[in-house]
Amino acid sequence: MKKIGNWLSNIILVLAIALLAFVLAVPLAFAGRVAVVLSGSMEPNMPMGALAITLPIAPEKIEVGDIIALAPPWDPDVTVSHRVVEIRNGEELAFSTKGDANEDVDPWYMPAEYVRGRVVFDIPYAGYLVNTALNYVKTWTGLALLVVLPSLIIVGGTIRGIAQPPSRRQKQLELLHKRRQRHKR
C-alpha cells in the first residue's frame, strides 16, 4: 500500500510540473504572455485569480466577442483583458471593450497599437498559486528551499554514492537485477 501511495504521489507531482511547464512554456514559445487576473471585471468567464494565457494576434484579425489584452497608455505596466464589443475602422483601427461583469462599456476606444494579444484560455485560480510562489521565491527562505536545499540534496546524494564501498554498491546492483528478473517472470 505504501508503494502505491508513493507511486501515485510521484505521478501527481510529475503531472503538476508538466502542466506548469506547459502553461508557462507554450505561450513563451509563441511570444505570448501569462498574466494573473487581478479584478473581477471578467467574471464568471475569467474569475479573479485566474491565470490568463495571451498569444499575439494581428489587430486586423480581432473580432467582436474576442477577449483581448490591452496595455493602456496611461499605465503601460498594467494589462487589461476585456471583451471586444465594437471595432472602429476609421483613420486608425480601434476597439471598444467591456468587462463581462461590468454594466457599461469602457469609456474609451483603444487604438490597435495598445493591443498585446488575444486571451486564448485561462486557468481559474491558478494565478493565486503563481503569485504566492513568485512572492515566496523572492524571500530568503524561498530561495533557500527552492535552490539551495535541492542543490545540497543532489550534491549529498552524489557524494554518498561515490563514498559507498564498491562491494556495497555491487550488492545493491545485484539485488536490483534479481528483483527485475522476478518481475519479468
Indicate the SS3 state at residue 115. strand
The residues that bridge with 55 in the sheet, in sequence order, are 118
In the structure grid, which three cell numbers stand for residue 160, read together?
Answer: 554518498
Distance in angstroms between the alpha carbons of the first and the last residue of the chain: 22
94 CB neighbour count, 10 Å cutoff: 19
* Fold of domain 31-124: Umud Fragment, subunit A (2.10.109)
> At 66, which amino acid appears?
D
User: Mind listing the pLDDT tens digit for each residue in 158-177?
Assistant: 887 777 666 777 778 888 88
* Interval 15-40 mean pLDDT: 75
The domain spans of the chain are: 1-30, 31-124, 139-180
23 CB neighbour count, 10 Å cutoff: 16
Q: What is the DSSP letter of 49?
A: T
> Which of 40-54, 71-85, 125-139 shows the lowest per-residue confidence on average (mean pLDDT)?
125-139
pTM of the model: 0.64
Give the Cα separation of 119 and 83 in Å (integer).
10
With beta carbons less than 8 A apart as the criterion, state whether 106 and 70 touch. no
What are the phi and psi torsion angles at 25 (to 5°)?
A: -80, -40
* Interval 107-123 mean pLDDT: 92
